[in-house]
Structures are given as C-alpha cells and as structure tokens.
Structure 1
Amino acid sequence: MIKKQLIMEKALELIAKQGFEATTVQQITDYCGISKGAFYLSFKSKDELILALIDHFMMQFISDIDQIVRSTQDENLLYEFYYSIYDSFQKHSDFAKVLMKEQTSSLNEQLIIKLQHYDRLLEVTILSMVERLYGDQVQESKYDLMFCIKAFMNTYSHLFLFYNIPVDLHLLAQSLVEKTDLLAKQTSTPFITKEMIQILPATHDQQDDTVEQIKLLIKQKIAEMDESIEKESLILLKEQLEQQTYSRAIIKGLLENIRNQPHCKWIAYLLYSYYHF
C-alpha cells in the first residue's frame, strides 16, 4: 500500500475515535508505526492530512451521487438517490460521523471553506435532479425543496451514525421518496429565492476548474495507471482538452470508459460538468 494512503486510512481510524482537534501528529505516527519524518514526506501538517481526507471522501461521494443522477431513469431516481446516500454513510460511517461533528464545532477556516465548497457542489446536483423530475411544477419552490432534501439527508443519517439504530435502507429510501413527492406537489408558500441562494458563500464551479487544472489531474492519473482502456481514454481526453477535435459523442463515450474506475471518478465528474453533459 502507498505510504500516503496508509497514513490516511490509519489516521482516519484514530480521528474517528478522538476527533480532529484532539488527534496529534505524534499520535498518528505512533498509530501508523512510522516516524514523524515519514509523515512529513507525505503531508506538510495535520491540517493538510485532514483536508486530504475530506477531499478523498467527498470527491467519491459527490461523483457517485452525480453519476446516479445522470444515469438513473426518472421513475427510480429519487429512490436510488436516497438509497445510495445512506448506503455510503453506512459504509463510511467513521468518517461521516467525524465530518458531521466537525461541521458544527470547527474553527478551522480552511476546513469550513472546503466543506462549504462540497456542500454547494452537492446542491448543484440536487437542484438538477429536482428540476428534471418536477420541472415547472417546482419553479417557485425548487430551492426550498433542495434544502428539504439536504435536511432529510442530514437528519435521518443520525439514526445509524449516532444512535446505532438498525435501519432498513430500502424502507427509508421509499419513505423519503414519498415525503419529497408530497413537498414537491403540495408546497404553495416558497421561502428561499434565487437571490438568497446567490448571497450564500460562493464556491468554484466548472469554470474555476480550469482546463489546465483538469489536464494536470489527468496527467498525474495517467502516470499512476497501468495500461488499460481507462488509461487510453484519459490520454485521449487530455488530447481533446488541448486540441478540441473530437465530437461530443466520442467525448461522452470516453467519459463512460472512465466513470466507473474508482480513481477516475472525480476527473469524470469535472469533465461531465465542463462539457455540460
């Protein structure tokens, strides 16, 4: 296992027990069985490690949810959306638990900004799902509905993250689909407006993930990968960013080749957004 990955996995186990603030670099190195020098070859500080952990988890989470929204048929979309979210929370409960606690207690500005960034990306995906499913029916209330969906995600996750109550994910997803449909169809007094959304802390979108930044991510990933159809697709996608020669159909096919490869999901997410698929 790559040392950086080992440090992240072992540190997460420790942080899940103690929290971010209470965990020291010395404790992390002792728990990993490495020297401080070895730690600092991978991370400049504990804060950098924490931000890397958040990136690792949230990039997977956001790209997985976005893929579900893009690829699931309308009649199953809400169910698959809710089920996949709680399934992910269960599989990564240690980190999800720490993340939710830190959002309410952290004074680290970098951490807060990063969490706000991923929260806004999630909002973009939820809003696209709401608009697709309900169209003009929620034109005035879509932002309220988006916030209600986020509230469902947060509140119901407490049942198994903090109270250890056995949860039937199938029943939970069905129940939340019913509640969301009722809100979408019955809400008559919207509160949150587009203007209010625009006042919220800004996050960078696909325009801020510049071509050069995406090309650098692709270049780094190509260097790490063995020969495969995913690697060849990344090479062609990088060429497309440089030369703009392929049709949208070819680009979409190349993205389909990489989107299920765990280490390429974030690149696929950025490119899907960049090309407005």
Structure 2
Amino acid sequence: MEDKAILIIENAIKLFAKKGYSTTSVQEIANECDISKGAFYLHFKSKDALLLEVFNHYSRQIQLKSDEIQATDLDPRTKFVKQLTVTYQEIIKHRDFIIMQIREQAIPFNKDIEDFMQHMRFNSYLFYKRNLLAIYGKDIDQTIWEVTLLMQGMFKAYLDLIIIEGVELDVEQLCESILRRADYLVEGFNRTGDQPVINDDIMNRVIPEDYYYNQLYTIVETLREMKTDSNEDIEVTISVLLEEIQKEQPRLAVIKGMLSNLEEEDRFKGVSGQIRTFFQI
C-alpha cells in the first residue's frame, strides 16, 4: 500500500475515534492529511471505501504479527499465547475507535463490509482450530470445533470487559489463563466422553470448501510476486516451495526445509508464517 494511503488511513481513524464516523467529512480527513479533497479520491472512492480499508489495514497488521510468531521455533503453546496476546494488544490500541463505532452503530452495511466480516469469522475459526490441533493433537480430534467456539467465546468475553467496560488486565497473563481453560475443556471432554454439539459436518456447511483454496491461492500469488525480486538461490527455493504446496499431498518435510531457507531473510517471514499456519508445521 502506498505511503499516502496509509497516512490517510491513520489520520482518518484518529478523526473517527474523536468525532465519529458519520460526522467526519472527507474534507476534514483531507485537511488532517494536508492534501486536497481530490487527492483523497485518488486513493479512496468514498468514505465507506476508506472505512473498509481501515478494517483491512488493521486486520493485516494483526495477521502479520501473528504470522511472524508462527514462523518462529517456539513450541505450539507459546506461539498460541503470543498470538492471542498481540491480537488483544492491537485491538486495545484502537479502543477509542471501536467504542465510537459501537456507540454510533455507523458501520455502513454493504456487500464489501459483509464479505470482510465473513472473512474475519472464517479466519478466526481456522486460527483457533489449527493452533488447538497443534497443541493437543489427537486428544482433540472429536471435539476440535466445540473447543474452538468455546475459546472464541472466552476471548470475546474478556475483550468486552477490556474495551467496553474499561477493565485493565495483564494481557499476557490473561492469554496464558485462557489456554489453561482450554486444557480443562479438553480434559473434561476426554474424561467424560461428552459428545460435542458442533462437529465437522456442521462447520463444513458454515465454511465453504473453496475458502481453503482461496487462502492457498493468496499465498501462491504472494510467493510468485516475491520470486520476481529475488536472487537465483531464493528463486529456486520459491519454485520448489510453489510446486510442493500445490500438490494434492504435499510433503511437509520439504515445505519445512524450503521455509527454513526463506526465513533467513526478514521479508519472507510473513508469508512463511502464513504457510506454516496453513499446513500447521
């Protein structure tokens, strides 16, 4: 994204938080950025389009930090706690903006916003599922979706206390506690044999099959773009990686080896984290 567009986004979110979305005009945003109104429209076709890009921008920031953690050699429990922690921290940074949106109920309901919200829900489901599988393995095979939804509910309940009620909590300690609650859930299901309400059949009807392929397609396109601006050794690594991740039965050992090569350069850590998250390696 261009620096000017990021400048507009950052100033807009300050104005939205201070004045509210509905009462902030495009002219005021342009004035805050020291640009003309026409220059604003070179980057965003409307204020609604800007708001959508605000959501996209900050969701990408969270995803990037999460992917960087995924690319580390930390154990699955530590990764999950750190990923939950940065998610809370990034959301808390924009508490005033979130509060203003809640009070105004001013988010325009349109297809783009609806698609964004759906994308975030699906991403959240898969984020919890993949991390919980990495932590608990076969112990959670039958109850993975149930525990996933219960974990999301806990995360949101604490978030409401922090954002809406203004409760101050040690976020890292909170995330460690949330994971311990997951331990209790997994242990309880396994001890009692209680059957989950939510299973694969239900969630397969919720998340379209092509959503998984779209995620992989995005990763593939990112790698192809980065390949054009790389030296010969990196080009070979990316070529092997592209071929492997698109196989019907990719070899995880090969993928891990190629990622180890890429992760020597900081610019590849984000996409490497996405691949590790997708294949849970």
TM-score by length of 2: 0.75
Given the superposition, is the C-alpha separation of residues 44 and 171 from structure 1 closer, same or farther in structure 2, using an over 3 Å criterion? same
Q: 1:10-21 residue pairs with structure 2 within 5 A?
A: 10-21=11-22
Q: Deviations over 1:36-81 (max 9, x none)?
A: 1110122222233222222221122124334435643145344334
1:173 aligned counterpart, secondary structure: helix
Work out whether residues 82 and 176 of structure 1, in 8 Å CA contact, stay in contact via their aligned partners in 2: no
Distance 2:92 2:203 in 1: 30
Q: Which amino acid is the alignment partner of residue 182 of structure 2?
A: T
Q: What displacement does 1:147 show?
A: 0.9
Distance 2:67 2:105 in 1: 22
Q: Could you tell me which of 171, 181, 193 is aligned with 1:179?
A: 181
Q: What displacement does 1:219 show?
A: 7.4
Q: 1:1-277 residue pairs with structure 2 within 5 A?
A: 2-69=3-70, 71=72, 72-94=74-96, 106-187=108-189, 188-200=194-206, 202=208, 204-207=211-214, 209=217, 213-214=221-222, 217-218=225-226, 232=231, 236=235, 240=239, 244=243, 248=255, 251-258=258-265, 260-261=266-267, 266-272=270-276, 277=281
Q: What displacement does 1:152 show?
A: 1.8
Work out whether residues 106 and 112 of structure 1, in 8 Å CA contact, stay in contact via their aligned partners in 2: no
Q: Which amino acid is the alignment partner of residue 10 of structure 1?
A: N
Q: What displacement does 1:97 show?
A: 5.0
Moved more, 76-85 or 29-38: 76-85
Q: What displacement does 1:256 show?
A: 1.3
1:257 aligned counterpart, secondary structure: coil
Distance 2:183 2:237 in 1: 41
Distance 2:59 2:148 in 1: 19
Structure 1 unaligned segments of length 5 or more: list them: 223-230
Work out whether residues 233 and 255 of structure 1, in 8 Å CA contact, stay in contact via their aligned partners in 2: no
Work out whether residues 67 and 277 of structure 2, in 8 Å CA contact, stay in contact via their aligned partners in 1: no
Q: What displacement does 1:12 show?
A: 1.1
Work out whether residues 70 and 79 of structure 2, in 8 Å CA contact, stay in contact via their aligned partners in 1: yes
Distance 2:129 2:84 in 1: 14
Distance 1:35 1:81 in 2: 39
Aligned-residue sequence identity (percent) comes to 23
Work out whether residues 125 and 148 of structure 2, in 8 Å CA contact, stay in contact via their aligned partners in 1: yes
Work out whether residues 123 and 146 of structure 1, in 8 Å CA contact, stay in contact via their aligned partners in 2: yes
Work out whether residues 121 and 205 of structure 1, in 8 Å CA contact, stay in contact via their aligned partners in 2: no
Given the superposition, is the C-alpha separation of residues 49 and 156 from structure 1 closer, same or farther in structure 2, using an over 3 Å criterion? same
2:198 aligned counterpart, secondary structure: coil
Work out whether residues 12 and 95 of structure 1, in 8 Å CA contact, stay in contact via their aligned partners in 2: yes
Moved more, 2-11 or 135-144: 135-144
Q: Which has the higher contact order (CA 8 A, sep 6+)?
A: 2
Q: What displacement does 1:131 show?
A: 1.3
Work out whether residues 160 and 167 of structure 1, in 8 Å CA contact, stay in contact via their aligned partners in 2: yes
The match for 2:249 is none
Given the superposition, is the C-alpha separation of residues 177 and 213 from structure 1 closer, same or farther in structure 2, using an over 3 Å criterion? closer
Distance 1:109 1:38 in 2: 26
Distance 2:82 2:256 in 1: 26
Distance 2:154 2:233 in 1: 37
1:204 aligned counterpart, secondary structure: helix
Structure 2 unaligned segments of length 5 or more: list them: 245-253
Given the superposition, is the C-alpha separation of residues 192 and 104 from structure 1 closer, same or farther in structure 2, using an over 3 Å criterion? farther
Q: Deviations over 1:157-211 (max 9, x none)?
A: 1222222222122432232122221112113241111121122254733445257
Q: What displacement does 1:113 show?
A: 0.8
Work out whether residues 69 and 129 of structure 1, in 8 Å CA contact, stay in contact via their aligned partners in 2: no
1:10 aligned counterpart, secondary structure: helix
Given the superposition, is the C-alpha separation of residues 109 and 19 from structure 1 closer, same or farther in structure 2, using an over 3 Å criterion? farther
